[in-house]
């Protein structure tokens, strides 16, 4: 067992313990580290964001004469108009650009990748149990969300089957979430036990 002598490891380990202490009850150490985390994350994001503006906007504009980049730069600055009551409305222009470009870019991809390809992947030969489950499960779940007819009789039975399929899916999602949370905790414990306390290798 060899306890770390690194100041960085000690800070990270004590911060981890402070965050974990919330499981016992809320306390000033937890709140201090929580605020520290938010502050560090915001600072880090600002520095990297500024790096992007400098490398992809300012430098090509000033050094290479790509003055067309002035347009996105001005649009970016206009976002801050929202902090001034009299010119608040101006901030809607860059937001409209952002919404339009973002939506346009993602919708074409969503239709292709998440609607057409996913639908095609459900058209499979019923020659093994996996495919049978995929087809019947998809059909059942879609039936559950079909509201033009009352869920009665055969339609009701299919919709009920769809509900059970969704319950199984939610159970799998819950199990995955538990596994993920445990993995996160294990990673921190490994850090504390290996890097800080030197109990494990």
| Part of the chain binding other proteins (CB under 8 A), chosen from 2-10, 82-90, 147-155, 179-187 | 179-187
Residue 178 makes CB contacts below 8 A (sequence gap 6+) with: none
Q: Provide the mask over 92-121, with x wherever binding to other proteins is found by CB under 8 A and - wherever it is not.
A: ---------xx--xx--xx-xxx--xx-xx
**Considering CB under 8 A, how many residues would be counted as binding other proteins?**
47
In the complex, least distance from residue 104 CB atom to other proteins, rounded to whole angstroms: 10
Residue 48 touches other proteins, criterion: CB under 8 A: yes
Contact call for residues 69 and 61 (beta carbons, < 8 A): yes
Q: Provide the mask over 180-199, with x wherever binding to other proteins is found by CB under 8 A and - wherever it is not.
A: x-xxxxxxxxx--x-----x
Residue 66 touches other proteins, criterion: CB under 8 A: no
Q: Provide the mask over 23-42, with x wherever binding to other proteins is found by CB under 8 A and - wherever it is not.
A: xx----------------x-
- Distance separating alpha carbons of residues 168 and 145, to the nearest angstrom: 17
Residue 128 touches other proteins, criterion: CB under 8 A: no
Instruction: Pick between residue 117 and residue 149 the one whose CB is nearest to other proteins.
Output: 117
In the complex, least distance from residue 109 CB atom to other proteins, rounded to whole angstroms: 3
In the complex, least distance from residue 177 CB atom to other proteins, rounded to whole angstroms: 5
3-state secondary structure the chain: CCCCCCHHHHHHHHHHHHHHHHHCCCCHHHHHHHHHHHHHHHHHHHHHHHHHHHHHHHHHHHHHCCHHHHHHHHHHHHHHHHHCHHHHHHHHHHHHHHHHHHHHHHHHHHHHHHHHHHHHHCCCCCCCHHHHHHHHHHHHHHHHCCCCCCCCHHHHHHHHHHHHHHHHHHHHHHHHHHHHHHHHHHHHHHHHHHHHCCCCC
* Interface contacts to other proteins, rule CB under 8 A: 23-24, 41, 44-45, 48-49, 51-52, 55-56, 59-60, 101-102, 105-106, 109-110, 112-114, 117-118, 120-121, 134, 169, 172-173, 176-180, 182-190, 193, 199-200
């Amino acid at each position: 067992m060899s306890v770390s002598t690194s100041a960085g490891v000690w800070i990270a380990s004590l911060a981890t313990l402070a965050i974990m202490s919330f499981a016992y009850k809320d306390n000033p150490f937890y709140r201090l580290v929580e605020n520290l985390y938010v502050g560090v994350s915001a600072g880090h994001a600002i520095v990297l964001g500024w790096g992007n503006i400098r490398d992809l906007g300012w430098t090509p504009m000033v050094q290479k004469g790509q003055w067309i980049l002035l347009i996105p730069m001005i649009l970016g600055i206009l976002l801050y108009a929202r902090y001034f009551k009299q010119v608040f409305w101006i901030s809607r222009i860059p937001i409209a650009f952002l919404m339009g470009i973002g939506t346009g870019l993602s919708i074409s991809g969503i239709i292709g990748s998440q609607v057409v390809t996913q639908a095609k992947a459900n058209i499979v030969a019923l020659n093994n149990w996996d495919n049978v489950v995929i087809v019947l499960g998809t059909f059942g779940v879609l039936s559950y969300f079909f509201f033009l007819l009352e869920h009665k009789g055969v339609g009701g039975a299919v919709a009920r089957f769809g509900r059970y399929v969704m319950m199984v899916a939610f159970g799998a999602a819950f199990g995955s979430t538990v596994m993920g949370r445990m993995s996160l905790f294990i990673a921190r414990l490994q850090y504390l036990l290996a890097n800080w306390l030197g109990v494990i290798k």
